[in-house]
Amino acid sequence: MTTATASDPVVAPVPTTWLRDGISGVLAAALALGVSEFVAGAVTSLPSIVESLGNWVIDVVPKPLKDFAIETFGTNDKLVLAISIVFVTLLIGFGVGVLARKRFWIAIAVFIGFAVVGALAGARGPETSLGLALIPSGIAALAGLASLQWLYSLSEPSTVGEPSVSRRAFLGGAGAVLGLAAISATFGRSLLERSKVVAAGRAEVVLSVAVDSVAPVPAAAELGIPDLTPVVVSNQDFYRIDTAFTLPRINLPEWRLKVGGRVDRPYEIDFDELLEMDMVERYVTLSCVSNRVGGDLIGNAKWLGVPLIDILNRAGVRDDAEQLVGRSVDSDGFTVGFPVEVAMDGRDALVAVGMNGEPLPFEHGFPARLVVPGLYGYVSATKWLAEIELTGWDEFDAYWVPRGWSKEAPIKTQSRIDTPMRGADITSEERMVAGVAWAPHRGISVVEVQLGQNAEWTQAELSEPLSDDTWVQWQIPWTPEPGRQLLSVRATDGNGDTQTEELAPPAPNGATGYHMIGVNVAAV
Ligand SMILES: Nc1nc2c(c(=O)[nH]1)N[C@H]1C(S)=C(S)[C@@H](COP(=O)(O)O)O[C@H]1N2
Ligand SMILES: [Mo]
């Protein structure tokens, strides 16, 4: 006969769980911090919450205390600060853990509150908006809350008669959360450190002076109309299109440009060697094939780079080379391909390293990209360029070709109305109608506008083109009749070919049709 005694674990009274709850809170807070570092590290444009909080503290702390910290901890002051922030966070986690089992709203309030404070700290930097900063802290708060809920459920106070299964389950769960917190924090930190090194590498780049530079934008190249797209688009405003899930951030010392395939002397150069080659400056308009009629996936910039022809001649292109393939770094896996003749026909194709006077922004291909006047980006403008390979035409299909886009893709002649805007409410006073028109490498000779549904096509005034490789601005005065009015535009390229009126979608090789907008004119 068996009788339970007072010392039998099966019937031992379960100790109060406030300590376990507190530990759950600490672990949940640790996971939240780890996850925030991981998200910030993986998406390099997001700030680390711990670092942001640290910078905030540094800014608001009174000077005497700052001096004291520097004196006491020397160059470790930032580390001490970071550790203190983590420590305080974990302490808050402990308190929340103890209090929130029966009142989970406390945990929700504190974690969300912490996420908001963290995001506010993150958004103080120039690179980040509050919305972006909320991403790592928001995900972190969710991870923290979920893990706290889970740990609570694993340590439901066991009732008399149940063995201490919950203790084992709790320890397992706690270990898992701790492990996850440690891994995400460590991995996130290393990503954050790497992206800092990479950013510092870009900041240190000193671009070469072009042996052949372009003149500053002449006054006549800019019509100076409000709401009209500027002739040179800033790096900030330049459209961005790529398949990169996370932005490739290339550590300069590790970067090489390989030139090979059907060439006599394949070679590899690093960034310094590329910079030593003669650089030229060119204005070139880039367009995305996905740009709809009237769309804004197009921009014009001043590029600095080595003429592609020089890159190729250094290798000696063989006669059997038919296609130039540009490969992006592995993490992106993107490729382009275009006829070798395009690289050889004298146009200003570049291996570009500078954009509007700066090293290429990370979004636009740092450290080097291809820029080929006259071809849509998807067949030419390889960002994060790693390799140029010469091959046969049928030997290789670049990234978008098997996905249904044309293998050859010259940019189609197009024009766009920028002002007034589609659907705008305007008055019947005289105003300027204005926009841009482009046919890169052929140039624009004429832009005509139809001011009202059945009006005559009338020639617009053009800005002075920066080159045949860039778009131009156009303008025409208009005194509209009251009511609903339709405006259309069409451009003629340097060869005398007018863009087609026939409507076509972007796939497979670029949209066509006239840009037409309707506006509502009120009588004055
Ligand atoms: N590595 C890489 N380069 C790329 C792409 C890409 O997905 N990956 N997209 C191309 C496309 S489709 C276009 S339109 C241009 C856009 O260049 P931008 O983002 O600098 O405007 O880049 C091209 N170069
Ligand atoms: Mo594109």
Nearest to 511 by CA among 423, 419, 371, 414: 414
The response to whether residue 267 sits with its C-beta less than 6 Å from ligand 1 reads no
| Dist. CA 80–CA 85, nearest whole Å | 9
Question: For residue 145, what are the CA distances in angstroms to 102, 136, 450?
Answer: 14, 14, 60
Pocket test for ligand 1, best of 232, 240, 249, 378 (most atoms within 8 A of CB): 378
Could you tell me the strand order of the sheet in which 425-427 lies?
425-427, 515-522, 483-493, 444-451, 457-459
Instruction: Locate 508 and state its tokens.
Output: 């497979």
Core vs surface per residue 61-100: b (16+ CB within 10 A) or e: eeeeeeeebeeeeeeebeeebbeebbeebbebbbebbbbb
| Dist. CA 77–CA 211, nearest whole Å | 47
| Dist. CA 515–CA 442, nearest whole Å | 20
Which of helix, strand or coil describes residue 30? helix
Total-model pTM: 0.80
pLDDT for residue 162 = 56
Residue pair 46/136 in contact (Cβ under 8 Å)? The answer is yes
pLDDT for residue 288 = 97
pLDDT for residue 5 = 45
Nearest to 137 by CA among 51, 24, 21: 51
The residue whose CA is least distant from atom 24 of ligand 1 is 382
The response to whether residue 286 sits with its C-beta less than 6 Å from ligand 1 reads yes
Nearest to 245 by CA among 328, 139, 122: 328
For residue 409, report the distance from its CA to the centre of ligand 2, in Å. Answer: 11
Q: Which residue has the tokens 């005509």?
A: 448
Nearest to 52 by CA among 143, 134, 157, 113: 134
| Dist. CA 188–CA 490, nearest whole Å | 52
Give the closest ligand to the alpha carbon of residue 239: 1
Instruction: Say if residue 508 is preceded by a cis peptide, omega within 30 of 0.
Output: yes
The residue whose CA is least distant from atom 21 of ligand 1 is 240
Per-residue pLDDT of the chain (524 residues; tens, 9 = 90+): 344 444 444 444 445 589 999 999 999 999 999 999 999 888 877 788 888 888 888 888 888 888 888 888 877 778 888 899 999 999 999 999 999 999 999 999 999 999 999 999 888 876 678 888 888 899 999 999 999 999 999 887 655 555 555 778 889 999 999 999 999 999 998 988 888 888 889 999 999 999 999 999 999 999 999 999 999 999 999 999 998 777 788 999 999 999 999 999 999 999 999 999 999 999 999 999 999 999 999 999 999 999 999 999 999 999 999 999 999 997 778 999 999 999 999 999 999 999 999 999 999 999 999 999 999 999 999 999 999 999 999 999 999 999 999 999 999 999 999 999 999 999 999 999 999 999 999 999 999 999 999 899 999 999 999 999 999 999 999 999 999 999 999 999 999 999 999 999 999 999 999 999 999 999 99
Q: How far is C-alpha 446 from the chain's CA centre?
A: 36
Instruction: Locate 489 and state its tokens.
Output: 């535009």
Mind spelling out the 3-state secondary structure of 105-145?
HHHHHHHHHHHHHHHHHHCCCCCCCHHHHHHHHHHHHHHHH
The residue whose CA is least distant from atom 20 of ligand 1 is 364
The residue whose CA is least distant from atom 19 of ligand 1 is 240
Q: Which residue has the tokens 């194709």?
A: 349
The response to whether residue 382 sits with its C-beta less than 6 Å from ligand 1 reads yes
The residue whose CA is least distant from atom 2 of ligand 1 is 383
Ligand 1 atom with least separation from CA of 240: 19
Instruction: Locate 126 and state its tokens.
Output: 């120039």
For residue 232, report the distance from its CA to the centre of ligand 2, in Å. Answer: 19
pLDDT for residue 164 = 54
The response to whether residue 242 sits with its C-beta less than 6 Å from ligand 1 reads yes
The response to whether residue 243 sits with its C-beta less than 6 Å from ligand 1 reads yes
Instruction: Locate 463 and state its tokens.
Output: 């800005």
> What mean pLDDT, rounded, does the chain reach?
92
pLDDT for residue 1 = 39
Nearest to 132 by CA among 57, 249, 193, 49: 49
Contacts 24+ apart (CB under 8 A), 180-184: 180/31, 180/34, 180/147, 181/27, 181/30, 181/31, 181/33, 181/34, 181/35, 182/34, 183/34, 184/31, 184/34, 184/35, 184/37, 184/38
Q: Which residue has the tokens 């070798």?
A: 340
Q: How far is C-alpha 146 from the chain's CA centre?
A: 30
Instruction: Say if residue 9 is preceded by a cis peptide, omega within 30 of 0.
Output: no
Residue pair 324/340 in contact (Cβ under 8 Å)? The answer is yes
| Dist. CA 42–CA 507, nearest whole Å | 33
CA atoms within 13 A on the CB side of 321: 25
